[in-house]
Structure 1
Amino acid sequence: MRFTVSSTALSSKLNALSRVINSKNSLPILSDFLFDIQDNVLHLTASDSENVMNTHLELTECDGNARFAIGNHDLLEAVKGFSEQPITFDVNLQENAVKISYQNGMFSLPIENADEFPQAQMINEGAHVITISSNLLAENINRSIFATAQDELRPVMNGIYFDLTPECLVVVASDGHKLVRNKIFTIQSEQPAAFILPKKPASLLKNILQKDGGDIEIRFDERNAQINYGEGQIICRLIEGRYPNYNSVIPQGNPNILTIDRLGLLAALRRVQPFSNDSSNLIRFHVEGGTLQLDAEDYDFSKTATERMSCDYNGQPMSIGFKGASFIEILSNFDCQEVIIQLADPSRAGLVLPSEQPENQDVLMLMMPMLIND
């Protein structure tokens, strides 16, 4: 059978799908793209056995239906350099080969039996459903994914936690040292439900959703989630286990309130951080009156740095230690002009909030303190 497709449309779809494929696979066919041509539509699928991503595009010409798999590397390399032009696939299922013709030439590749490609896990009947706008989901994944852990002993910390409650949808990520909690008040459910989205499908969504508009539907049960977006879907295995009680680590009643320019503090931390000790990365924050002083020192190499900046502070004079790199990550994942830092005492976590909350949301980030030697 034969079909014709736009070169740039095909290249764009294959590039997005290729992010699912691992460099080493348990099954050789997982290195392939699955092509499924039905009724003048090309359905494309890629999988790593735990995550399945599929998308589709209209064909300009087609004379039948077929299913087959093609190795991802050779096909990607072949089509990525094309200018916009029609590409014609001549598929010979008897000889397990495909001839691909374009304006100035052709190439041929072996194909494999599509029946060997593993099927995606089905979502159980009675699954929970969340409908969320593409922009809102992308924004919350972007804001949270940096705080996920890489912890073999506590795998539940390695993903983003979606907690659906009667009041709101809460999106949480934490590695035990820093935490991000986003509340979305426009999404609620009388029936509470929750799931932990692994980092890989979250990263795939992060790359797709920036280009895609409209609403996203997330259907999930105890083990799997199906995320339907405008031009395709991702089906992924969820992280199983109980997520820690994130509310219990957020300190309440923090009387010391610091308001400061976010980009100014970010720039100051980037200047001071290289002078901190390599192993601890400790930065001392001393705040008193209208001045925040940042201090870093590495006595092993006789390095020290101090920088002062003006701020608005209501509270007792305080010195508290934070890991410089983590605080830089937190500030980098806000997009507001000023941040509010709420402190209780040097032994309790500091809270970082935007000076103005996004519409219908409540965003909070938390940073555990480090011990400082006075």
Structure 2
Amino acid sequence: DIEAKDSGKVCIPAKILLDSLKNIAEQPLTFNIDKNFGVEITSDNGKYKVMGENPDNFPKEPPADEATTFSMPSSALVTAINKCLFAVSNDDLRPAMTGVFFELSPKGVTSVATDAHRLVRFSRVDVVCPESATFIVPKKPLTLIKNVLPNTDEQIEISYNANHLFVKQGGAQMVCRLIDARFPDYKVVIPTDNPYKLTVNKIDFQNALRRVSVFSNKSTNQVALTITGSELQLAAQDVDFSFEGNERMACQYDGEDLQIAFNAKFLIEMLSAADTAEVVIELSTPTKAGIIKPTEKVENEELLMLVMPLMLNN
């Protein structure tokens, strides 16, 4: 509830306001705003001052001209963002890859992220879009959106036009500018003929990777996987410091004996995106990308993750 003596507007630095409010106990606060936009905040035990700005300088909300609108569960968007965000590139020289690519169609919504070393594709087939369209949403707005939206089945309204994305939930609306760039043709890099299937316990594999990667080269985080029958061996070394680590673990494997190396940090992050007890890794040769999938499918969802191998150390 808000009790105001006068009406007015002011811009306050968001970080200072939030950092102060989250450390104040639940209590009434009084905001006094002077003619120069100085703001004095008074609590039961303290008084705080911050210099605001003229609200006329605040950017105007872009109009939703010629926007297309559809609805989806809030949890569906939150899940899509969580599955993809870690694979977004930080390379500003390739702006198209610094966001998540959304592919809309009447058959569902697909979100894709890649940094050229790994790729994540997440699809929801229970979301109906009025038309086919594609756009790229930057990483920072997506981080804010997933932190604000509830992870529930509440329906949210999504609108988009050539330049902006609008996400409306309850009485709140979030707007962000889309990335004006062409996303690479990700479909051509997904192998369709990886005949070897490695099935492992996700948690056991993650923990083994964490332990062994401690001894890897810190610039590559390389861990070599040697698969023979029902045994998986993990090995890492840093020749500069004479570090070396090896572990063995049980697995299910259908294929010829194989040795292949990956960035352990990438594998650990990708395994975290799979919500199953076991994952299957589809492999072919030491120089071809591996495909990681959960062994159990969630209804209306499909998750595929690709990771490029590293050159094996001699």
Q: Which amino acid aligns with 2:236?
A: A
Tell whether 2:91 aligns with 1:117.
Answer: no
Using the TM superposition, give the Cα deviation of residue 365 of structure 1 relative to its aligned residue in structure 2, in angstroms: 0.5
Cα distance 1:370–1:97, how it changes in 2: closer, same or farther (>3 A)? closer
Cα distance 1:92–1:317, how it changes in 2: closer, same or farther (>3 A)? same
| Aligned partners of 1:257 and 1:342 also within 8 Å | yes
Which structure shows the bigger proportion of residues in strand conformation? 1
Q: Distance in 2 between the 1:291 and 1:282 partners?
A: 19
Gaps of 5+ in 2: none
| Aligned partners of 1:100 and 1:106 also within 8 Å | yes
From 187, 200, 206, the equivalent of 2:146 is 206
Cα distance 1:318–1:229, how it changes in 2: closer, same or farther (>3 A)? same
Q: Which amino acid aligns with 1:364?
A: L
Q: Secondary structure at the match of 2:126?
A: coil
Gaps of 5+ in 1: 1-58
Q: Secondary structure at the match of 1:319?
A: strand
Cα distance 1:183–1:333, how it changes in 2: closer, same or farther (>3 A)? same
Deviations 1:220-253 (CA, angstroms, capped at 9, x unpaired)? 1121111112352221111111111111111003
Q: Distance in 2 between the 1:102 and 1:279 partners?
A: 50
From 173, 188, 197, the equivalent of 1:257 is 197
Using the TM superposition, give the Cα deviation of residue 153 of structure 1 relative to its aligned residue in structure 2, in angstroms: 1.8
Q: Pairwise CA RMSD of aligned residues? A: 2.2
Identical columns (%): 39
Q: Secondary structure at the match of 2:309?
A: coil
Q: Distance in 2 between the 1:176 and 1:348 partners?
A: 14
Cα distance 1:65–1:247, how it changes in 2: closer, same or farther (>3 A)? same
Cα distance 1:265–1:109, how it changes in 2: closer, same or farther (>3 A)? closer
Cα distance 1:97–1:298, how it changes in 2: closer, same or farther (>3 A)? closer
Q: Distance in 1 between the 2:48 and 2:229 partners?
A: 72
Cα distance 1:313–1:329, how it changes in 2: closer, same or farther (>3 A)? same
| Aligned partners of 1:128 and 1:193 also within 8 Å | no
Q: Secondary structure at the match of 2:12?
A: strand
Tell whether 2:308 aligns with 1:368.
Answer: yes
Q: Which amino acid aligns with 1:343?
A: L
Q: Secondary structure at the match of 2:89?
A: coil
TM-score by length of 2: 0.92
- Alignment match, 1:4: none
Using the TM superposition, give the Cα deviation of residue 122 of structure 1 relative to its aligned residue in structure 2, in angstroms: 1.9
Tell whether 2:293 aligns with 1:353.
Answer: yes
Tell whether 2:27 aligns with 1:85.
Answer: yes
Please, which moves more after superposition, 294-303 or 170-179?
294-303
Q: How does 1:1-374 map to 2 (within 5 A)?
A: 59-72=1-14, 75-76=17-18, 78-93=20-35, 96-104=37-45, 106-107=47-48, 109-125=50-66, 127-189=67-129, 191-210=131-150, 214-373=154-313
Deviations 1:145-196 (CA, angstroms, capped at 9, x unpaired)? 0000011221100101110123221111100010100011012336210111
Cα distance 1:104–1:254, how it changes in 2: closer, same or farther (>3 A)? closer
Matched residues, number: 314
Q: Secondary structure at the match of 2:24?
A: coil
Q: Distance in 2 between the 1:244 and 1:137 partners?
A: 22
- Alignment match, 1:8: none
Q: Which amino acid aligns with 2:215?
A: F
